[in-house]
Structure 1
Amino acid sequence: MLAALMQVIDSSIVNVALPDMMGNLGASLDEIAWVSTGYILASVIVMPMTGFLGDLFGRKRYFVGSIILFTLASFFCGAAHSLGMLIFWRIVQGLGGGALMTVSQAVLLESFPPEEAGTAMALFGLGVMVGPTIGPTLGGYIVDHAGWPWIFYINIPLGILAASMITAYVHDSAHQEKPSHIDYTGIVLLALSVSAMQYVLEHGEREDWFESRVIIELSVFAAVGWGALMWREFTTAHPVIDFRVLRHRQVWVGTLLGVVMGIGLYAMSFTLPVFLQNNLRMTAQQTGLVLLPGALATAVSMGVVGKLTNRYDARWLITIGAALFATAAWNLSQITSESGTHDFFWPLIGRGLGLGMMFVPLTTLTLTGLAPRDLPQAVGLYSFFRQIGGSFGIAGIATLVARHTAEYRSVLGEHLTSSDPQVLARVELLTRAMIARGADAGTAHQRALTMLDRMVLGQASVLAYARIYLLAAGLMLVLVPLLLLVRRPRASKAGAEHAIME
């Protein structure tokens, strides 16, 4: 769990420090964005290959090596004095970090007997779900009091501790087989197609999607690359990604559910901090404190649901969790520009409880009962597609927020006419306030109109975010009928025998 926690915190903690990095390294917004994009690209490429790489090097050796690589790269990220070096070491850090979550999950599932898989996933989920919430708060505190390099240096003692514990307590799986052939073609196709797709998702909204020739070309390249990758991996004897594990109904349905959940989850996880900071003018630390009760609710929920998953049908628990999440999202859709921190408390508590009730049972439903040989590949694919769902979610949500804001701004602007007494009164009030601050009448009037336009833009933004939260509520409810496609898994004979041997 410690290794997974390092990875998810690092993914969220860096975003808080980007403005300070821009000033320190003399970088533009587009340039500094590659500090995050480079890490995401590298980690997403590695995720589906972790099963293959674990077999190639030995899972324990690969796990420890990934932590060491992640830790060393963290040191060099903190010591970087140029943007180019920082981006390079972030890519290296991503190559190590991509394995931390998936291998941690596989190790936990194999360390517990099948009937206690819910408990294992609860332990894993604590790090995965709580990490992104405490990351911004921790990052804001570190940047304010120590400087941005320390958001990387804090990984060093954690990495040393994690590597030491894994060396002492984790053992290689008895079921892994070292591949006799390395699928270099598959690795190249994976890297190129994922890189192209991730670039499109990261930069599509900024470049107006298919109005950009680069986005069009990379989209076609990604589609062709994915087609070639699928054909290659299904026809080669030693695939780097064994898509054949999707023959298990629970895996492909669970992966589909994970994609849908990832889109809905990121719709709120991405927009809430932005809304709190841009619309309600909160600092990064204040935003983290507002989000903290929801994180604590997730931790409590996972602790309880981990035990319940061992006893009850996971599909019912997911249904209850989806209902809680959808209700919380609907409540958040009622926010206004006058909302205070207290208006977010109970919706975020409900969201946190719902997340815990969905994440643990869904992961258990997807991965429990698989043969030990298939487990690492299934974990890698499940994590990979959930991350891809999140990437699609963030890209889509960013586009929808921008477009809805423009739509609402236009609609609200149509109702602001120079003959409206309320508009005239507001402009007059703002003009007098500007004159009182020393502006002449003409300048004061112009500033008053500018302030009124900002108010309209702010209200349009609030309405756009409210619409997004309604969409998130709908996405969570889509999970429920999809659950009818999967049966409650039973531990396989191989899985039971493996549990006894462990």
Structure 2
Amino acid sequence: MQPALSATAPAIPTGLVRIIIVVTAISAAVMELIDVTIVNVALNEIAGALGATIEDVAWVVTSYAIANVIIIPMTGFLAEYFGRKKYYVASIILFTVASYFCASSTSLWQLVFWRFIQGMGGGALLSTSQGIIFDAFPPAKRGVASGIFGMGIILGPTLGPFLGGVIVDNYHWSYIFYVNVPIGILATILTLLYIAKKPGEGTRKSQIKIDYLGILLLSVGVGSLQYVLEKGQSDDWFESKTIVTLTLTAIGGLAGFIWRQLTTSHPVVNLRVLGKGTLGVTTIFSFVAGLGLFTSVFVYPVLVQRINGFTPTMTGLSLLWPTLVGIPLFPLIGKRLSSGASPLPFIIIGMCTFVVFGFYSGTLNGQANQWDFFWAQMMRVFAVTMLQLPLINQAVAGLPPQDFPSAIALNNMIRQLGGAFGIALANTFVTRDYAQHRYDLVSNLDPSNPLLTERLNLLGGAGQRAYKILDLTVDRQAYLLAYLDTFRLVGVFFLAIIPLVYFLRTKKKSAAEVALAAKAMSEAH
């Protein structure tokens, strides 16, 4: 068996070599996506082990998402500057090393730091893996390649909680990071041996200018905004000088970033493409899609473990089975889109399904079991399946092929930003909503009410122990109502943007345009 062909002979691989390339790229992409969600079922254990609150431990999730937001739009540029293969290998190594140090962390903020570094390495794995898989197939079969990659996209975030649950229930929480180390080492070796360089890869390094100022402004703007969203509630918002300062920093950083990208001749993110085709409107849908996916997968494990008494393994399984049912849809959608089908019907169905998911999930209660949640999770998986590939196709609708790389990178960044925003919003919303629900519940505890007296008697009389149990019951109910309201809030976001579908309409592509788009999208990665 010979390694993949060199950069001077970019023939499409076949047979066992193609299988190895696809498995390697899918493994790297899934490894990155798993780490977006694998910590969700371990948040309680991590908080207890490191002496942190649930609100603070959310930084373990969001620091990773922030790093993704920063690095994803620069992936195409960095791959061109260093060469795709070199950048890909370096990213896998960085991700693997950071995973080891995440597992070795002894404090919350040490873990948050290494999660950020891990996210910087992982940000390249998704889009670069997609490009590698596309290059492993002839143009006529790239719809199949899209479907294979799409299966990984939906499998990763949902497989994460299951693996995390099994590990946390049977081992130490640190093993959710240690498990990446052997996979990362194997992926590095296989990449070096079997993934070929593209023709001319890395030869234009001296001709490419790096927009250091743009990178700095993006990092400062996004980082400051995320801190404000995460800590604003607990720091009493604008009563805190830190929140005020970072709000102004976020506004200045993001405004400066936009100005820089529109005025420099070598932008790190080409924002000019937002005015072309339907990309500007599509990014709104991608933002909300990211918000819906990340928020629902973040809130659900906390809800069922805190309120419904699920173990981490039960939580992971309750997410896994619906995903396995929905996965076969991805290749079918990829094939339909490759044959020229409009992405609009898929997008509309996906948006409406997410609305139903949000409001249906908001009707469940603290006694619900795994099967009660099954249909809600099925709706979530179906909605994500309907949105993922069609939104990528819609992002480049009406654009010339030379703008595809910028459009795809920008769309991916916006989706990740929506996820980071959604997690921060969920934390803030749950904290406020919990306080309101608790106040309302306590206000209705009338000492003269015979039902309250009866409940206290069942708890052992009107003593301190009975009141403590009652207080915990009220607390649990208030959190339940807050989590259910969060699902409804997700549904409201999707409902609010459905009318914007009108602006996504484009003329039907010819067969030649479809083929050209498929080729350009593969090259964009």
* Count of residue pairs the alignment pairs up: 490
Query: Map of 1:104-115 to 2, 5 A cutoff?
Result: 104-108=129-133
**What is the Cα deviation at residue 411 of structure 1?**
2.4
Amino acid corresponding to residue 337 of structure 1 in structure 2: G
- The match for 2:504 is 486
Partner in structure 2 of residue 191 of structure 1: 219
1:424 matched to 2:447: no
Give, in whole Å, the separation in 1 of the partners of 2:447 and 2:518.
Answer: 76
Pair 1:284 & 2:302 matched: no
Corresponding residue for residue 163 of structure 2? 138
Q: How many angstroms apart in 2 are the aligned matches of 1:348 and 1:100?
A: 27
Change (3 A) 1:390 1:173: farther
**Mapping 1:359-378, distance limit 5 Å:** 359-367=388-396, 371=400, 373-378=402-407
Q: Kindly tell me: are residues 149 and 266 of structure 1, through their superposed partners in 2, closer, same or farther at Cα, counting changes over 3 Å?
A: closer
CA distance in 2 between counterparts of 1:463 and 1:82 reads 32
Distance in 1 of aligned mates of 2:110 and 2:354: 41
2:322 matched to 1:294?
A: yes
- Alignment correspondent of 2:299: 271
CA distance in 2, matches of 1:314, 1:93: 33
Determine the C-alpha separation between the residues in 1 that align with 2:219 and 2:274.
21
Cα distance, 1:264 vs structure 2: 2.5
Distance, in Å, in 2 between the alignment partners of 1:338 and 1:27 is 29
Matched with 1:68 is: 93
Q: Is the partner of 2:459 in helix, strand or coil?
A: helix
Partner of 1:409: 438
Distance 1:313 1:294 in 2: 26
Q: Which residue of 1 aligns with 2:195?
A: 169
Report Cα offsets for 1:422-447 as digits up to 9, x if no partner: 11111111125xxxxxxxxxxx6222
Picking from 122, 127, 136, the partner of 1:97 is 122
Q: Structure 1 residues 408 and 500, CA, compared in 2 at 3 Å: closer, same or farther? A: closer
**Aligned partners of 1:320 and 1:354 also within 8 Å:** yes
Partners of 1:201 and 1:391 within 8 A in 2: no
| Matched position secondary structure for 1:336 | coil
Q: In terms of mean alpha carbon deviation, does 364-373 or 448-457 score higher? A: 364-373
Matches within 5 A, 1:219-258: 219-258=247-286
- The 3 A distance-change label for structure 1 pair 381 and 108 is farther
- Aligned-pair CA distance for 1:377: 2.5
Which residue type is aligned with residue 153 of structure 2?
V
| Match status 1:319 vs 2:348 | yes
- Residues 329 and 382 (structure 1), Cα distance of their counterparts in 2 relative to 1, 3 Å cut: same
CA contact (8 A) 1:52 1:377 kept: no
Gaps of 5+ in 2: 1-25
2: distance between equivalents of 1:446 and 1:344?
A: 36
- Quote the offset at 1:379 in angstroms: 2.4
Judged with a 3 Å threshold, the aligned counterparts in structure 2 of structure 1 residues 89 and 238 are, in CA distance, closer, same or farther, namely: same
Answer yes or no: is the 8 Å Cα contact 2:41–2:316 preserved in 1.
no
- Do the aligned partners of 2:62 and 2:423 also contact (CA within 8 Å) in 1? no
Instruction: Give the secondary structure class of the aligned counterpart of 1:320.
Output: helix
CA displacement at 1:81 relative to structure 2: 6.1
Asked whether the 8 Å contact 1:50–1:376 carries over to 2, the reply is no
| Residue 107 of structure 1: how far off its partner (Å) | 4.2
Instruction: Note the C-alpha offset of 1:235.
Output: 1.0
SS of the residue aligned with 2:210?
coil
Give the AA of the match of 1:154. V
Q: Which residue of 1 aligns with 2:16?
A: none
The corresponding residue for 1:205 is 233
Out of 310-319 and 275-284, give the one that drifted further: 310-319
For normalisation by structure 1, the TM-score amounts to 0.87
- Please say if 1:182 is aligned against 2:210: yes
Query: What residue number does 2:471 align with?
Result: 453
Equivalent position SS for 2:466: helix
1:152 is matched with: 177
Q: CA 1:462/1:85 → structure 2, altered by over 3 Å: closer, same or farther?
A: closer
Q: In the alignment, which of 381, 390, 394 is matched to residue 352 of structure 1?
A: 381
Say if 1:464 and 1:151 are closer, same or farther in 2 by CA, change over 3 A: closer
Residue identity in the other structure for 2:347 = I
Secondary structure in 2 matching 1:249: coil
C-alpha contact 2:350 2:384 (8 A) present in aligned 1: yes
Tell me what 1:260 maps to: 288
**CA 1:95–1:470: 2 relative to 1, 3 Å:** closer
Contact 1:50 1:377 in 2 (8 A): no
- Give 1:453-472 correspondences, 5 Å limit: 453-472=471-490
The CA distance in 2 between the partners of 1:390 and 1:263, in whole Å, is 4
- Percentage of matched positions with identical amino acids: 40
Tell me, yes or no, if the aligned pair for 1:118 and 1:364 is still in contact at 8 Å. Answer: no
Cα distance between partner residues in 2 of 1:19 and 1:420:
36
Return the letter of the residue paired with 2:358: A
Unpaired stretches in structure 1, ≥5 consecutive residues: 433-443
| Higher mean displacement: 288-297 or 165-174 | 165-174
TM-score, normalization by structure 2: 0.84
Report the equivalent of 2:371: 342
Asked if 1:56 is matched to 2:81, the reply is: yes
Which residue identity does 2:37 align to in structure 1? S
- With over 3 angstroms needed to count, the CA separation of the structure-2 counterparts of 1:120 and 1:74, relative to structure 1, is same
User: Are the equivalent residues in 1 in contact too, given 2:161–2:319 (CA < 8 A)?
Assistant: no
Is the 2:30–2:152 Cα contact (8 Å) retained in structure 1? Answer: yes
Task: Give the alignment of 1:12-51 within 5 angstroms.
Answer: 12-17=37-42, 20=45, 28-29=52-53, 35-51=60-76
Distance (whole Å) between structure 1 residues aligned to residue 455 and residue 273 of structure 2: 64
Amino acid at match of 1:339: A
Q: 1:408 offset after TM fit, Å? A: 2.4
Q: Distance in 2 between matches of 1:67 and 1:121?
A: 22
In 2, Cα distance between equivalents of 1:272 and 1:321: 20
